[in-house]
Each structure stands twice: as C-alpha cells, then as structure tokens.
Chain A
Amino acid sequence: MIAFSVNGKNVNLDVDPSTPLLWVIRDHLQLTGTKYGCGMAQCGACTIHINGEAVRSCVAPVSRAAGKSITTIEGLSPDLSHPLQRAWIEEDVPQCGYCQSGQLMSAAVLLREKATPTDNDIDEAMTGNICRCGTYPRIRRAIHRAAGMKMTESPR
C-alpha cells in the first residue's frame, strides 16, 4: 500500500510501486486532467506538483509519491481563480487544450519562485512543455499578465 495526498485528500493505494504516477492519477484516481503525451519526460503534458515541485509524472514511479503531497490541475484552484487560470482566459491561450494542464502546472511553479519572471525565466521554465498547436506566444503573455495580477490582485 502506498499512501499520499492528492489535492488535499488522502489516498491509500494497492498498486505496483513501479507504475508511473501519471497512470495512477489517471486510471486509479480517475483524475484525467493530467495528460499523457510521450511517456519519457519530453513533452510536459503530465506535469504535476509533488510537494510543490513540478514533476513529469509519466516517468515518476508512484513509489516516489509515498508520504508526499500531490497537486494536479484539478487542485490548482477550486474555481479557476488562480492568477494563471485567469490570465489564460484573458489571453485566450488554449487551442486544442491538451497540453495546457501541464503548461499551467509548470507556470505555477515558475510564478511562485519568481514573482515577475523575465522572458528568459519563462524560456527556462516552460521549454520542457510542448504545445503542438503553437500557443507559446500567448502562454508567454499570460504568464506576464498573471505576474501582474499576482502583485496587484492576489496578495497571498
């Protein structure tokens, strides 16, 4: 049995410890917002947080989550109120939308670490997340916008 928390809820699972966390999240916990894109940490679609750090869940065995706190896109905010979600809406970022969970989860760590990220910071933090539709220019704008919101509108 492997115990950890997901979006604030405790789970205790009987699952092969070598199973990638991505598939435990998707198939066992039925949280399908976290996406499969490559299975080898190339595309970032599966990005989640383990104890606040961005992790490619497709290559992280579930054993790595033991005793830790996991956040998935479903737990980023209860109501689309995270500055990044609001900025993503303002900039009309998504096209097909499939990669956006991973983009948001990567951007959330960036924004926590750097309140006003530069373009270089964005390149560094977001280059592991592929978007095949080509929403990069809007993602960049939305991160800058969210940074502004965070300062002026979201004191936490």
Chain B
Amino acid sequence: MSTQPIDQPKSRAAFPRRQFLKLSVAASGGLLVGFYLPALSSKAAAEESPNVFMPNAFVRIGTDERITVIVNHSEMGQGVYTSLPMLLADELDADWSKVGFESAPVDPKYNHPAFGMQMTGGSSSVWSGLEQFRQAGAAARAMLVAAAAQRWNIDPASCRTDSGAVFDSSNRKFTYGQLASDAAKLTPPAKVQLKDPKNFKLIGKPIKRLDTPVKLDGKAVFGLDVNLAGMLTAVVARPPIFGAKVKSVDDSKASSMPGVRKIAQIPSGVAVVADTFWQAKVARDSLRVEWDEGAMHNFSSSELMQTFREKAKTPGASVRKEGDTTAALAGAAKKIQAVYEAPYLSHLMMEPLNCVVDLRTASCEVWTGSQFQTVDRANAAKTAGLPNDKVQLHTTFLGGGFGRRANPQSDFVVEAVEVAKAVGAPAKVKVVWTREDDMQGGWYRPMFLHAIEGGVDASGNAVFFTSRSVGQSIMKGTPFEAMMGGKPYDPASVEGIDDLPYAIPNITIESHGVDVNVPVQWLRSVGHSHTAFAVECFIDELAGLAQKDPYQFRRALLQKQPRYLGVLDLAAQKADWGKKLPKGVGRGIAVHFAFGSYSAHVAEVSVADGKIKVHRMVCAIDCGQYVNPGIIAAQTEGGAIFGASAALFQELTFADGRLQQTNFNTFPVMRMNECPAIETYIVENKEKSGGIGEPGVPCAAPAIANAVFAVTGKRFRRLPMRLSEAV
C-alpha cells in the first residue's frame, strides 16, 4: 500500500497513522474533524525519501529508526500484522518498540509462496511466511552490518547486532537509522545465515499485538471507514432469489428523494447512488423492483436435504477404501448407522461487505478489506476495462473475513466497479451492503450430509467405518476448480473424513457432489466445519456401542498417531477427564486435524430449561513450532466460540427461493452471557508449523454434542443442536 516520506516523525507502530495522509474537512456545522486518506504511492515516497533503506519488498528502515514491515497477508483478526513482523524483526535484531506494519500493495513479489497469488486463507500466513520474513530480516541485517563495518573499516564478521544497532568488538555502535542511508547503497546479499532458534528474542514469545492501540480509539481504518473527498455512497437492490433478473424498476419515489444522484441497473441489481449512506439506503428501500424469479423460485433447503438423504443411499465417488467393509459389516457383533446434517451458514463478519472505488478514465483505485488481492485486482481491472497495472488495490483492515472476503468472483469488488461505471468516470463511490444484504448475498458454507455406519466386534474393537458425504462443491464451476486436482469429488467436501486417523481395519469413504444454484464458498475451517461434527460424534456413538469410555476408546485407536494422541491426552488431563462433575454437568471430547495442526476440545455442559449451557471448554492445540503463543491462544478461543456459535444457534434456510434469515436476530452469534470459560494449552514440539486461524473451530460442535449426550443420553444428528431433535 502507500507510504509517506520517512523523515517525518512518526507515531507508534500503526498503519493508519503513518500511511494515511491526515486531512481536515469542515463538516456542515463547522466542526473540524480529521479523517484519513490513503496517500502517496510507494514510488513517490521512495523518490521523496532518498534516505530510506528498503533492502527488499518486506521492510523499510528510516533514518528516524522506524522499521516498517510490509505485510502481504490481510489483517482480519488473526494477528498477521504482529506475527509476521515478529519473524522479520527477530532476524533483524530490531528494537521491537520501533517496529510498525503496513499492508502490501498488489504485486507478484507479495504472492503467497505456496499458492502463487496474493491472498490470505487456509490458515497459512505464518507457516508460509516463516522463511520469507526471516530471510528478509536477515538480509536487511547483513546490509546494515556491512554498512557499519565499512564506516569502521573492519571485518563485518567482528560486528554484532542488538536492539536496532550494530556494535563493534569495543562496543562502538551505529543505530540502524544512522546506517540506513549507507546501507541503501549496498547490494543485497545473495545468501544469508538465519539465526539459531535458541537465539530468538521475539519468536515464541507472547508479544502484544501491534494493531491493538488503533483498534481502541477509532483510528483503525476498515473498508467501511474509507472516505474520499467527493465520494458518493451506493446501496444496491439485489435479487431476492439466486439467479433472478430485474424485470422492471419503478424508481419514481426514489429518484426524487434528497441526496439521490443516480439510479442505475447494473449486472447484480439496481444501484442507488446518493450523497450519504442513509439517503441511498432509504431510497433503495423505496424502489419497486419486479423480478423475473428464474429457476430457483421455489427452492427449498429442506427439500434439498431430502434429496441428499436419498442420494446417500446410492454409492458415491470413492475417496478412500481399505480392507473389506462389506465383509466386516456382515461379521460385526454390533453396528450403528447415523446420518449427520449440517446447514448452510453465513460468514457474518461484523463488518458487512463494502468496497470503495475511485474510477478515472485510464486508471482505477480500490479500497476494501480483501483476502484475495490478486484475484480482486484482476477482476476489478477486467470490469473497468483497464490493464492490471492501471488498477491499485489498497487493503484496509478487515472487520472479519472468515473466507467471505476471498470470493472467487470478487463479487463485492466487481459490483463496486460496475456502480462507478454507471455513475461514469471520474467517479468515487463506496458501495455498502446492509447486514441484510450481506446475509442474503450468498457464498455460504454449503449444506452437507454425512451418512456413516460402523461396527465393533464382540470385544468392542472397531472393525469397520463407512461414510458417504453429500453436498455441493465449493470449487466446481469456479476459477478454482483446478484445486479439485482432477478428482471426481471435491476434496474440501470430505476433508476431515478422508484422513480418518483411527486404527479401524476396514474403511470406505465416498462422496456425492450435488449441483445447486446457491453460491457457496469456504467458511472458516471449510469442510472440517461439518466433517468433524459427523466423525467425532460418530466415534462417540461407536464408543457407546463398545461400552467404552469415549476418551479411552479414542486413545486405543490412536496409538500410532502420536500428535492426535498428544492433544487428546493434554485436553483430557487439563479437563480432569474422569473426575466427578456436579450433577447435571457432563463432559464431551473431540479431536481433529486440520490445516496442519492438531486440536482437541473437552466441553463441559449442562441442560436446563430446554437450553444447552456450555460452562467450560478446554482446548489443546499442536500447531508445531509457533511464533506467538498469545495469538495462538486468542485464535483457539475465538475458534471454539465460532464453532460453538454455529453448533448451538446457526442455520440458513430457504423457502420459495428466499433466504429466511436476515440479521443477528434470526442468525444468532454466541454472546457474552453464553460464552464458556475457555482454556488453551499448547503442545510444545519442533514439528513443522501448521495453521491456527481455523483449527480451533472443528472440535467445538462434536465436543459439545458429546457432552450433551453425557448429560441427557441423547445424540444430536443435525446442526444446529436442538434438544427437541436429539435422538
């Protein structure tokens, strides 16, 4: 993103303060208030600031000692504006109090090293940035050392670095700021030596987040907060049914409303553009739009689930096959069948979707909370009819992402460019989605069904496991279909079942893809958000069949899976598994692997007045070598709450083609009074780093469901959990 001259004194570590040019505007009443505008481009800043030392794409060191880490992943709450700078700053031996962050502009040099494009998702920012950011810090350090050695005319090898300065053997020192202009003249080293992990000063420590202060005084700039001089605001009337088209529009009322500047049909609906949001919203609501409702006009999610149930009776594409489940089924002493159902879900970020576009005749600038910079910029450029390099995309803070802001079609970005085109370049427009617009706008976690059968022998040993998943692929028909790897099924539909870790000799796993014209995509923990519920509830049922303790039953089947066992044991031990609980309180356990990390939860619940109360959740996480344990705890807590919200409250349903939920009152989120006490324990090891944003989600639902069974003797077979539906 943009920068500013580095010689200016800067306030502490905060991107909006440093990166946004402060302007003053006179509000209509004469109150002078400050607001922030994205300012100079990096290039302009570099030209104006010859003393800046930017040895690579990821760090800039100023003569004022400020160290700015340019972060190529989006900050949506998961802490990347802290954890990635920690990696770089540790190798640099920086003074942490001088370290700040900035979001990267769109450029191939900021591509995700594993995924080949600039994006944030898959719980991958830290593991994919480990080398990148450490290398960048080490390279900068080597150049600062070389600059100091040159000044002293000594061997660089005799220098050491500490806290933002280079020292010689007699403790003479130059600070990094003093060396910045000299270092800028040197050539970056071809190879650098990374630190021995035992010398880490930041990595592995619970360093406080750099982005906290700006989130406590209103200064953090989210997409919705971007205000450009002369900017208009648009609200769009979108089809009430997926695939519906505008038949006619009566805008006679709206067009004469105060502040309304333009009403235009765009591919996604009818846009009302006004001076302010409220004017646009009121005018939009007064439109009378007749829709050609199209093929989905009588779509019903409950009828769709019925077709899933039928489909589950027929063989699907083979995902995994071991042993002979048919023979094992016939020979099993006891067997059990269970069909698990999970609904459509909305990401429901606290900040509803929005996008600001400044469209000029030969260029375009976009400001939004994007998780998908490469895709969003390309789609914006295509829509604007401009080459990619004429489009700048600025990544603001994201008021939550959970996958929704990584849309394969860049729906919210493309639409904003369409609105700007309808207004006519030059045009500055902010498109704001109301909460209802956001919830009804599609791209949900798809509805799923998992039909599972398993059995035990006379001694209670699990002998077979079969599962058949039915649901809509999130990849098929999108530019990301290649991620299916040519398989006859979408791996994201069965992830978390396909790698069933339990030592069961006969396993058959199948998948059915169902085409539905409801736009769906990844939602935090993706397939694991429903597969873990099915698998871990079923394993509990199998333990019941074997008349064994659910924890011990899992232990016995995970003897060859040390990392599963590690988190399972840790969670059980910290939760005092097996110790007596007060009457009416029960425990449930679940373990799962997702995004490179192992997670186990133990939930303690009670049931009273027809309601499930979760009192405590004990979470164990093994994400291998970690960077910031404070952030890991926060993500694990947040993941458990996210998973519990879905498990207890959330369901999107369709009738007559229309979504029946509109806002937080019909699609609830866990609140303070419902939130359990949560403890997080991290497994210490030297394994490869895994993800942390998503792995905390999957175990919440099955741990809670299994705990409710411990109290009530009833099983949940569908989400969200309704006591009236327990069997």
A positions within 8 Å CB-CB of B: 3, 6, 9-16, 19-20, 23, 26-40, 42-43, 45, 72-74, 76-77, 80, 85, 88-89, 92-101, 104, 122-124, 126-140
- A133 close to B638 (CB less than 8 A): yes
Chain B residues positioned under 8 Å from A133 (CB to CB): 77, 350, 400, 638, 642
- B216 close to A28 (CB less than 8 A): no
Binds A, one of B85-93, B668-676, B710-718: B668-676
User: Could you say which of B224, B278, B630, B664 contacts A43, with CB atoms under 8 Å apart?
Assistant: B664
Known: A29-B31, A95-B638, A138-B634. A89 touches B665 (CB 8 A): no
In whole angstroms, what is the CA distance A3 to B642 when docked?
42
Closest B residue to A139 by beta carbon equals: B672
Chain B residues positioned under 8 Å from A99 (CB to CB): 350
Q: Hey, what's the 0/1 contact readout for B68-80 against A, CB within 8 Å counting as 1?
A: 0000000111110
Chain B residues positioned under 8 Å from A128 (CB to CB): 671
- Is B221 at the interface (CB under 8 A from chain A)? yes
- A132 close to B640 (CB less than 8 A): no
- Is B678 at the interface (CB under 8 A from chain A)? yes
Binds A, one of B205-213, B262-270, B601-609: B205-213
User: Could you say which of A12, A95, A140 contacts B672, with CB atoms under 8 Å apart?
Assistant: A140
Min CB distance, B206 to chain A, in Å? 8
Number of interface residues of B (CB under 8 A): 70
- A35 close to B33 (CB less than 8 A): no
- B218 close to A101 (CB less than 8 A): yes
In whole angstroms, what is the CA distance A102 to B664 when docked?
16
Min CB distance, B568 to chain A, in Å? 23
11 contacts between A and B (CB under 8 A): A9-B31, A27-B233, A27-B278, A35-B222, A72-B218, A85-B217, A92-B630, A96-B350, A100-B216, A123-B673, A140-B672
Binds A, one of B22-30, B484-492, B579-587: B22-30
Q: For chain B residues 175-213, which have a beta carbon within 8 Å of chain A?
A: 208-209, 211-213
Apart from A42-B664, A132-B402, what are 4 other A-B pairs with CB-CB below 8 Å? A45-B350, A95-B635, A134-B639, A137-B637
In whole angstroms, what is the CA distance A136 to B352 when docked?
20
Closest A residue to B401 by beta carbon equals: A96
- A98 close to B222 (CB less than 8 A): yes
- A100 close to B215 (CB less than 8 A): yes
- B221 close to A32 (CB less than 8 A): yes
Known: A101-B218, A135-B634. A127 touches B435 (CB 8 A): no
- B672 close to A136 (CB less than 8 A): yes
Chain A residues positioned under 8 Å from B212 (CB to CB): 88-89, 92-94, 97
- Is B391 at the interface (CB under 8 A from chain A)? no
Min CB distance, B420 to chain A, in Å? 19
Min CB distance, B592 to chain A, in Å? 18
Closest A residue to B82 by beta carbon equals: A92
In whole angstroms, what is the CA distance A30 to B233 when docked?
14
- A29 close to B399 (CB less than 8 A): no
Q: Hey, what's the 0/1 contact readout for B32-45 against A, CB within 8 Å counting as 1?
A: 01010000000000
Chain B residues positioned under 8 Å from A37 (CB to CB): 350-352, 435, 664
Pick from B348, B672, B675 the residue with the most CB of A within 10 Å: B672
- B213 close to A96 (CB less than 8 A): no
Chain A residues positioned under 8 Å from B434 (CB to CB): 39
Min CB distance, A82 to chain B, in Å? 9
B positions within 8 Å CB-CB of A: 25, 27-31, 33, 35, 75-79, 208-209, 211-222, 224-225, 227, 233, 258, 276-278, 348-352, 397-402, 432, 434-436, 630, 634-635, 637-642, 663-665, 669-673, 675, 677-678
Counting from the closest, the 9 A-B pairs by CB-CB distance are A33-B218, A134-B641, A98-B399, A97-B215, A95-B77, A96-B77, A134-B638, A32-B225, A123-B673
- A35 close to B350 (CB less than 8 A): yes
Min CB distance, B35 to chain A, in Å? 5
Min CB distance, A83 to chain B, in Å? 12
Chain B residues positioned under 8 Å from A31 (CB to CB): 33, 218
- B224 close to A36 (CB less than 8 A): yes
- B217 close to A73 (CB less than 8 A): yes
Chain B residues positioned under 8 Å from A43 (CB to CB): 350, 664
Known: A95-B79, A130-B671. A42 touches B665 (CB 8 A): yes
Closest A residue to B439 by beta carbon equals: A38
User: Could you say which of B278, B352, B665, B673 contacts A40, with CB atoms under 8 Å apart?
Assistant: B665
In whole angstroms, what is the CA distance A132 to B229 when docked?
32
Closest B residue to A89 by beta carbon equals: B212
Chain A residues positioned under 8 Å from B79 (CB to CB): 95
- B216 close to A80 (CB less than 8 A): yes
In whole angstroms, what is the CA distance A36 to B223 when docked?
12
Known: A27-B278, A137-B637. A38 touches B664 (CB 8 A): yes
- B31 close to A27 (CB less than 8 A): no
Known: A76-B217, A95-B634, A99-B350. A23 touches B277 (CB 8 A): yes
Known: A27-B278, A33-B217, A94-B215. A127 touches B671 (CB 8 A): yes
- A29 close to B33 (CB less than 8 A): yes
- B28 close to A13 (CB less than 8 A): yes
Chain B residues positioned under 8 Å from A45 (CB to CB): 350
- B400 close to A132 (CB less than 8 A): yes
Min CB distance, B435 to chain A, in Å? 5
- A30 close to B400 (CB less than 8 A): no
- B675 close to A136 (CB less than 8 A): yes
Chain B residues positioned under 8 Å from A122 (CB to CB): 672
User: Could you say which of A34, A89, A94, A123 contacts B218, with CB atoms under 8 Å apart?
Assistant: A34
Chain B residues positioned under 8 Å from A104 (CB to CB): 216
Closest A residue to B617 by beta carbon equals: A137
Chain B residues positioned under 8 Å from A131 (CB to CB): 350
- A92 close to B208 (CB less than 8 A): yes
Chain A residues positioned under 8 Å from B78 (CB to CB): 95
Chain B residues positioned under 8 Å from A35 (CB to CB): 222, 224, 350-351, 399
Known: A32-B35, A37-B350. A96 touches B397 (CB 8 A): yes
- B351 close to A98 (CB less than 8 A): yes
Pick from A11, A16, A94 the residue with the most CB of B within 10 Å: A94
